[in-house]
Structure 1
Amino acid sequence: MKRQFSTFAIAIMMAATAPAVALGRDIKGVVLGENNTPLDFVNVVLYCDSTYVAGGITDATGSFIVSTDATCDLSAKISFVGYQNYMVDVPSDGNMGVITLLPSAVQLGEVVVKSSRPATIMKGNALVTNVDGSSLALAGTANDVLVRIPMVVDNGGTLEVFGKGAPAIYVNGRKVNDLQELSQLNSRDIKNVEVITNPGAAYAADVKSVIRIRTKPPKGDGWSGTLRTDNGFQHYFRTGNSLDLKYRTRGLEIFANYGWWYGDNRFDRLNDMTTTAATGRYNQSVRTIGNESYNDMTGKLGFSWLINDRHSVGAYYQNSRNCHTTDGSIPSEVWHNESLLDSYTSDVHNKSTALPRHYANFYYNGSVGKLGIDFNADYLWYKSRELTFNAETAVHGDDRDVTTQTVNRNRMFAEKLVFSYPLWHGGIEVGEEYTDSRNTNLFITNLSGIGDADNRVDESNMAAFVEIGQQIGRFSIGVGLRYEHVKFDYYESGQHRDEQSKTYDNLFPSLNVATQVGSVRMGLNYSGKTIRPGYGQLDGTVSYINRLTYETGNPYLKPTKMQTVEYMAQWRRFFAQLSYSYFKDGVYHETEPYGSDGNATLIKTANLPHRHYFQAFIGGNFQLGVWQPKVNAGMMKQWLTLPVNGEPTRMNTPIFMLQWQNAIHLPLDIWLNVDAQFMTRGWDNNTWMSNTPWYVNAKLYKGFFKDAFSVTLEAKDLFDSAKRDFNLYSDAVQIMQKNYSPGRSVMLTLQYRFNATRDRYRGTGAGNTEKSRF
């Protein structure tokens, strides 16, 4: 035994002191294009004689690292669409230095034909769309860019990833928590946009999709800035103005942003409700007509300090003010078994304010040797107040005045720490995230039968995750696992409610495999996730809408569990995606009779037992002279059966979508964009989308003085046809809503930029999911 132990010890010592080449080596370098611009997504393939050994791609800085155990003399082939292939022998130390690729061109008489890179390519589990150098760079703002990115749709002014809902959006790794920030990011500063429809373990368990915006490298020192003003009409006048200033000297950058948005929104919609109660059938016709005035401001001040190539720190403070006032009337009729019971009109005045809204972020980004470190800390606090006054005049019943007041306070602290390190043929990321938040809600009303409410939610979320990525032959494999411990405490009038308070301990796995077969890139992804209800969905306070309509949340809601499998592929200028999801305990809205006689309607949140969901998306982009068209098509289908009036109803009709986007380069360097979108009827949860909304948008862009000053004229929803109507079906109550609000708008934008540079701020944010729940 002693001899065996000695032999084993000697073997361990020999393994520990063996030359590095026996354990593998890293082949690394940097790839540049024209004007010494870093090229990302360049293919790097290693060969031993003519035999394939390993491969990889470059990152945003043009850098690549390919690990191999091969001990033979290696050669490398560097290839990229639009550039000449480059073959070179690999030095013995593996450091290939800087490699400069030359553009590919074929001379045919007086005609030069150049290959061009596809506008959208697949990278792992993401679709990456190039903005720099394309017509998208002239779109205006990041908002204007995103609505023209494949898989992103404009749903009534809200950005969504097709079939995945609202995404988490990042700019240079930093989470965007105020979407107004996107209207202050210029499209000319954007390099590319990544859309991830099945995020891995590095993201919170309830993030269903991610959009990552990456801007171009910075240029120069000194002052830079952008001044932008948008003015136009959507029934009423509206304006948006922003100022972005930066001062940069060496590695230090100080920045200040200010934005102001002012205007009015016109709304006009009709709700027809049918309630089956013990005393018969009630029909309510409720028309809501009015306008909302808004006056919003936000300001930000911060700095970032690039200490050297390996260390960077920064911080910023942001404060916002939101003030919205709504005035309108609600004429209504109530019928019982086809007999008119009453007619009444409510004059409504509502004022909501959020002031102040404090938000601060600190970050450190750096590396020690091969170890990468990314740390973020965030603090958020704001208070909002809403006051509503309803003056109701009835033909037969009693007149009454109803006053409600809601005061909401939110505060959150979060931090996130991520370590990254090269590992074998790839790398590993290990991280932790902690979020502590509190939401309080005070509701006061003079209406008897509802009562006041005072509730509070305290929640802490501790998460740890690991992700490993490896390049094995032609396959890129990523495996991730996330653990979350969530403690949720619910209080009413200061008293802890044990039944509504919960503790969760969950593991969430993820897996993605990507490869390339010929000219086809493809990937298969899996993830397990959860979606915890927002605080508004959990709030058990009954809110008054009118004397026959009330709304409430549900403190007993369970989190939704979701399993998703997704396949993606790209071939030349075409891409496709197929996705299947299984939802358990999904959250939806249901209705039920309310009140002593059951003739009122209560709208509330509830859990679905389960739901199967499938989606498909396909798209392509083309170049025909001065015309650059894009065509996208998508389909969403669910399998769901729920009772309606006591009878099981299948809610399986799919929804189809078609997009046609066009960019045309006119004489005098004028760009014309004409975009159209069409959607069909179909089911989403227990809601029937009852019409076929479509729109046509048009935009003219002209730049002056090398695009330092630009003018954009844009018309949206030219035919006023984008309104979405729906029917909500539940067992005892059905609601039909028709939308008559004006959708057509016209906007003139003037923009001036000087010494334009990229934001160096590298903070990614922490507690990003909790911010969205607020």
Structure 2
Amino acid sequence: MKKIKFAVLLVFLFTSFYNYSQQGSPGGKNKVKVTGKVFEKVSKQPLEYATISLTKPNDTKVVAGGITNPKGEFEVAVAPGTYDIKVEFISFKSTEIKQKSIQDDTNLGVVNLSEDAAQLNEVVVRAEKSTVEIKLDKKVYNVGQDMIVKGGSVSDVLDNVPSVSVDTEGNVSLRGSDNIRILIDGRPSQAINMAEALRQLPADAIEKVEVITNPSARYDAEGGSGIINIILKKGKNQGFNGTFIASTGLPETYGLSGNLNYKTEKLNYFTTAGYNYRTTEGAGQTNSEYLNPDGTTKSFLDEDRDTKRIRKGFNGRAGVEWTITPSTFWTNAINYQKNTGDDRDLINYYNYDAAHNFTGTTYRLNNADTGSENFEYTSNLIKNFNDKGHKLTADFSISRNTDDSNSTITASPNFNNTLNDQIQKQVLFQADYVLPLGKGGQFEAGYKGSFGDLNNEYYVTENGGAKDPNLSNTLEYKENINALYTQYGFKVNKFSYLFGLRWEDTDIHVNLLDNSDFNTKKYNNLFPSAFISYEISDQSNFSASYSKRLSRPRGRFMNPAVNYASNVNIFQGNPDLDPSLTDKYDIGYIKKWDKVTFNTSAYFEDTKDVFSFVRSPTGDEVNGVPVIKSQPINLGKEQKFGFEFTFNYTPYKWWKLNSNFNFFNVKTTGEHSYTDTKGNLIVQDLDNQANSWFARVNSKVTLPYKIDWQLTAMYNGEQKTAQGKNLGQFGMNTAFSKDVMKDKGTIAFNISDVFNSRKMRSYTYLDDVNSYSEFQFRKRQFNLSFTYRFNKPKSERDKNAQPRNDGGGEGGGDFPG
């Protein structure tokens, strides 16, 4: 392990110093700085990615240039002289300053740009964002540029995001850890079943996804490995415009959705609505060898599993932004989702004796009806006190989510009925204040209150009889969190600093009403954060950061309801789980060339009371077959060290590449002690150390006849566990698209999992059973979609006409400098 750490650190430092030496001291001592800000004239909001170019009078050759940051600020180094200065942004009228004499450091002040109505009505691609934008503190994935997710869901979107993986069951992980926080428009998602909710939200409702691996104090402390922020589409263009998307696919899938926007000088109306019908076919198997106490073979059991899930859902969102005054903006929106579904899960059991002679077969069929309904109202108020970033924001949201499932499990000659009804209510309030101080300084402070209530009724009956008290329960989960934070950032020469402190007070009640088991967990914690950045040059930057993070167990982790799909391999939540605390350290380096953007980071995470899934024999048997239970526990300690590379490369105008590689080592320490149903004390040693890695490559090529071709390949490496190992997993997706109808329409065809290879495979070794299992949640899928746009450019750049902070909710200011 020490050798690996040393080698990784050596490679990282060599790369950093090599690039630094190649860059040299940019600009030299004889250059001066040209600074300023670029704002939208009407809303007085900063324009990110506006371009600034300096040319000699009567010469078209660009001498120097740059782009604006999220605050609309720019800084360009140039030799003293007289220049023509041009400021441009897509779909805006450019501004020129002719023959400006620049002899010393010069501040141009605020440059205001106006929308160009003529350009807005043209359907012309003048510039496109990269599918993946690499920034120092986060990665931004632009959904609109990705053909592979057309007609898909948010799960498909996340599965293409750098550093992010989605397993075959829809569970999301970041840098190999599922200990994350998922936000929607900067607010925590209130979905009861996160994996299912992400599969139901259509991809075309998403504008971009932000991945923040080491968040600052302004963000919730929850999410040990980081935050994923999903930003929904909001219209930006003046007038009436929109997009319609129709899709169909195999297995039987179809959908229809639309995004409409009407914007005037004072009001901006936006809405999204869609219906989808999805069929998901899956399969799996588990082959087990059961052992006698002396280690000899007792018997074999093979389980073959076939699944089919049908989901029908409506997704709608409507809202209005009101420009009350030129400096005050109020946005209100309503989100609504309703889904119904049918699940069919058939398991065939094949029994064999110790010599592997066939002895008989049984089956287990689970037919389930599912339904969910989610409603959320959000309100966001922004008051800008000046155009330098001094502002106050307030957010409020209230939501109600229901999730129901009723099933009949047939296993001749018996049958069981199960019911799982969940109702969750959530109220959130947040206020953030940002005050610029001096040159490059910024103070922030805020409050957030989150108050939730979940009621979950679950029961199992046998042959239509009474509830089984051992498998049935009513769970009441109440969570109240109050938080305060403050942080201060400033810049000294080429160094930028950001120091923050967050305090969170948590009050949780986990009550099992059927057996009067009441549990209260109260705790409060301080969460410091620190970020330091050094600007090596205009094109390269180095950073180091630290933060303390928290992970609270939720959802199925704490629900003691037994997953009864298989009666010999069961899952059960643990209501006695405690939160885990993580100390995160990250060192990052970013370098930009004309055609390449490269980002690398080394990270270390030290977690106490980490959650871990443990498989344990219960002591029970079904027809002579031992019952194995999988349950999350607070294992003990986990230390994770890794490094990551991400780069964008555009070798030609017609070819774009981006890739991501992550290697990590995980060391866990702990044991699990429990008493089985026969009264035996079982102690499981779960100490483990393992290496793993994953990689993703995305290629986008423009073929003849303006046909775009996209290919994405990903591989998750093998990883050893305390009770076995997870095998490697390879997958490939591809897509083709063609613009039609004078570029107002786009036809896209994509194939998900080209080789039908995305299967979760693992080996498990316990004292009395060895098993191999594999599961494929979704088999290969084909999808065809048609997109039609009116009064809207194909590549609508984010002009920040919405005065929100990348989705609002969690936002304060940005990293200083």
* TM-score with structure 1 setting the length: 0.79
Q: Is the 8 A contact 1:140 1:186 kept in 2?
A: no
Structure 2 partner of 1:97? 110
1:428 CA drift (Å):
1.4
Distance 1:333 1:227, change over 3 A: same
1:122-521 matches, cutoff 5 A: 123-127=135-139, 140=150, 147-156=159-168, 160-165=173-178, 168=181, 173=186, 179=198, 181=201, 183-185=203-205, 194-207=210-223, 208-212=225-229, 220-233=237-250, 236-273=251-288, 283-334=300-351, 343-354=361-372, 356-369=373-386, 371-393=390-412, 399-424=413-438, 425-447=440-462, 448=468, 450-493=470-513, 497-498=517-518, 500-518=519-537, 519-521=539-541
Give distance in 1, aligned partners of 2:276 and 2:258: 12
Aligned to 1:542: 562
Q: Distance in 2 between matches of 1:607 and 1:124?
A: 34
Question: For the structure 1 residues 174 and 41, does the alpha-carbon distance in structure 2 shift closer, same or farther, using more than 3 Å as the test?
Answer: farther
CA distance in 2, matches of 1:588, 1:680: 19
Q: CA deviation at 1:131?
A: 8.3
Equivalent AA in structure 1 for residue 644 of structure 2: F
Stretches of structure 1 that go unaligned for 5 or more consecutive residues are 1-26, 45-55, 67-72, 101-114, 394-398, 769-774
Give 1:336 shift.
7.3
8 Å Cα contact 2:235/2:270 also seen in 1: no
SS in 2 for 1:450: coil
- The alignment yields a C-alpha RMSD, in angstroms, of 4.2
- 3-state SS, counterpart of residue 165 of structure 1: coil
Aligned to 1:29: 36
Asked if structure 1 preserves the Cα contact closer than 8 Å seen for 2:739 and 2:746, the reply is: yes
CA deviations on 1:104-123 (whole Å, 9 max, x unpaired) are: xxxxxxxxxxx999986764
CA contact (8 A) 2:201 2:315 kept: no
1:549-570 CA-to-partner distances (Å, cap 9, x unmatched) read: 3332111111111111111111
Could you tell me how far apart the structure 2 residues matched to 1:568 and 1:79 are? 33
Instruction: Give the one of 616, 621, 639 matched to 1:592.
Output: 616
**Which residue of 579, 598, 609 corresponds with 1:574?**
598
Post-superposition offset of 1:202: 1.4
The separation in 2 between residues aligned to 1:139 and 1:99, in whole angstroms, is 36
CA deviation profile, 1:652-673 (whole Å, cap 9, x unmatched): 3322223232221222222111
Higher RCO by CA contacts (8 Å cutoff, separation 6 or greater)? 2
Q: Structure 2: give runs of 5+ residues left out of the alignment.
A: 1-33, 54-65, 90-95, 114-126, 191-196, 463-467, 673-681, 812-817
> For 1:650 and 1:493, how far apart are their aligned partners in 2?
36
Return the alpha-carbon distance in structure 2 between the equivalents of residues 129 and 86 of structure 1: 38
Amino acid at match of 2:257: S
- 1:444: how far off? 2.1
Question: Is the 1:175–1:765 contact (alpha carbons within 8 Å) kept by the matching residues of 2?
Answer: no
What CA distance in whole angstroms lies between the structure 2 residues aligned with 1:614 and 1:576?
Answer: 14
CA distance in 1, matches of 2:517, 2:85: 63
Aligned equivalent of 2:63: none
Q: Which residue of 2 aligns with 1:630?
A: 658
CA contact (8 A) 2:734 2:752 kept: yes
- The residue identity in structure 2 corresponding to 1:254 is Y
1:551 aligns to 2:571 (yes or no): yes
CA contact (8 A) 2:392 2:431 kept: yes
What's the CA shift for 1:124?
4.3
Give the aligned partner of residue 693 of structure 1.
729
Offset at 1:420? 0.8
- For residues 451 and 694 of structure 1, the distance between their equivalents in structure 2, rounded to whole angstroms, comes to 37
| 8 Å contact from structure 1 (residues 275, 601) kept in 2 | no
Q: Could you tell me which residue of structure 1 aligns to residue 62 of structure 2?
A: none
How many percent of aligned residue pairs carry the same amino acid? Answer: 19
**Secondary structure in structure 1 of the residue aligned to 2:690:** coil
Q: In the alignment, what sits opposite 1:667? A: 704
The one-letter amino acid paired with 1:747 is N
Question: Aligned with 1:668: secondary structure?
Answer: helix
Distance across 1 between alignment mates of 2:591 and 2:804? 33
- Do 2:473 and 2:514's aligned partners in 1 also have CA atoms closer than 8 Å? no
**TM-score between the two structures when normalised by the length of structure 2:** 0.75
Q: How many angstroms does 1:325 deviate by?
A: 1.0
Per-residue CA shift, 1:521-553, capped at 9, x if unaligned?
111111111101013211223343333333321
1:617–1:633 contact (8 Å) kept in structure 2: yes
Cα shift at 1:218: 6.3
Displacement of 1:220 in angstroms is 4.4
Distance 2:327 2:212 in 1: 28
User: 2:746 aligns to what?
Assistant: 710
